[in-house]
Amino acid sequence: MLALLVAASLVLLTAYFGESASSPLHSVQRGIAEVLSPVEQGASKVLSPVRDVAGWVSATINAKSANARLRKQNANLISQLAQAQHQLLLDRQLSGLSTLDSAAGIRSYSPVAADVIEFDPSLWYEHITVDKGTGDGVGLNDPVVGSGGLVGQVTSVGSNYAVVTELNDPRFGVGAQIEDPAGDAGLLQPAVGNPTSLLLQYLPPHASGIQNGDIVVTSGFVDSRNPRIRSYFPPGIPIGSVSTPNSTIPTSLLNQQQVSVTPYVDLRHLSVVQILTQPYPGGSVRAGLTPPTAGAHG
């Protein structure tokens, strides 16, 4: 049967191409085409919506697949960007700590690097928790520094963690002095109601030479009238700079014996700190830093 069909096809094709355009086979072909052409056009119009729907479904499926793929790629890129930015922040803070180690002689106090693992949930960010504890040589009252300067001191410690009370805690205080020719010293405490500002108090009322921008560092002094003011902090650790407007410095000194100080360390964005585990033996005694009733520490 197959052979007969093939033979018949060859015969018809040979006859079709061998005849003229007016031959019977050509006439039959034209007649069939004229009869079936309307049917073909009608079927095409009827099936066109079906083709459109099929195309829309296919395009929708492809678009959803592409959207899912792009969302996944976007999530991966966001994750990579976040990791890169976090690493950049760590690198900057570690670089600042390295500079501080060299400039302030921090290395002699056996600093231990620690990652911040918890922030105080309050607006003031008065405490942080780090991932180093007694097992790493950390003890109570150890000074803590960050990129730029002093952060605070250890006030609670466990075997593998430590809680650090920061500069802006109302109970915090540290003997500090201005690095000007006179070296005027006082007690540095947080300003009431302003977590980003500190006050260097109990300065000489007629101190001269204090300028806006002057560097403020830990003094290492001990208050002879208040044994709670012990010198946990080595001298010379940067704290901040004088930020009282120049026009009000004389009045502030004369009436209140204080100037405002802006801390160097960004307490809201700490990722890594150093804890000075080697005890500071204590500095010289200097009276008059605080009134006898003061309750600050540091």
Task: Assess whether pLDDT exceeds 50 at residue 158.
Answer: yes
In this structure, the answer to whether residues 63 and 93 fall within a common structural domain is: yes
pLDDT at 132: 93
The predicted-structure confidence for 172-215, as pLDDT tens digits, reads as follows: 888 888 887 778 888 888 887 777 789 998 887 777 678 888 99
Confidence of residue 261 (pLDDT cuts 50, 70, 90): very high
Share of the chain above pLDDT 70, in %: 63
| Higher pLDDT, residue 162 or 4 | 162
In this structure, the answer to whether residues 95 and 223 fall within a common structural domain is: no
Query: Which residue do the tokens 């006050």 mark?
Result: 199
Q: Could you write out the DSSP letters of every residue in 155-224?
A: EEE-SS-EEEEETTSTTB-EEEEE-STT--EEEEEEPTT-TT-EEEES--TT-----TT-EEEE---B-T
Instruction: List the domain range (segments joined by +) for residue 51.
Output: 25-104
- Domain for residue 114, yes or no? yes
Mean pLDDT of 160-181: 88
pTM across the whole model: 0.62
The predicted-structure confidence for 262-283, as pLDDT tens digits, reads as follows: 999 888 888 889 999 887 765 4
Separation in Å, CA 183 to CA 64, 153, 168, 195? 70, 24, 23, 26
Task: Assess whether pLDDT exceeds 90 at residue 233.
Answer: no
Task: Assess whether pLDDT exceeds 50 at residue 288.
Answer: no
Torsion sign across C-alpha atoms 20, 25, 27, 33: negative
Identify the CATH number of the domain in which residue 132 sits: 2.40.10.340
In this structure, the answer to whether residues 36 and 141 fall within a common structural domain is: no
- Domain for residue 228, yes or no? yes
Confidence of residue 286 (pLDDT cuts 50, 70, 90): very low
Number of folded domains in the chain?
A: 2
**% helix / strand / coil in the chain, to the nearest 5?**
40, 25, 35
The predicted-structure confidence for 20-39, as pLDDT tens digits, reads as follows: 656 665 566 666 656 656 65
pLDDT at 18: 61
Give the residue among 223, 234, 231, 203 at the shortest CA–CA distance from 294: 223
- Domain for residue 282, yes or no? no
Task: Assess whether pLDDT exceeds 80 at residue 3.
Answer: yes
| Higher pLDDT, residue 58 or 293 | 58
In this structure, the answer to whether residues 164 and 90 fall within a common structural domain is: no
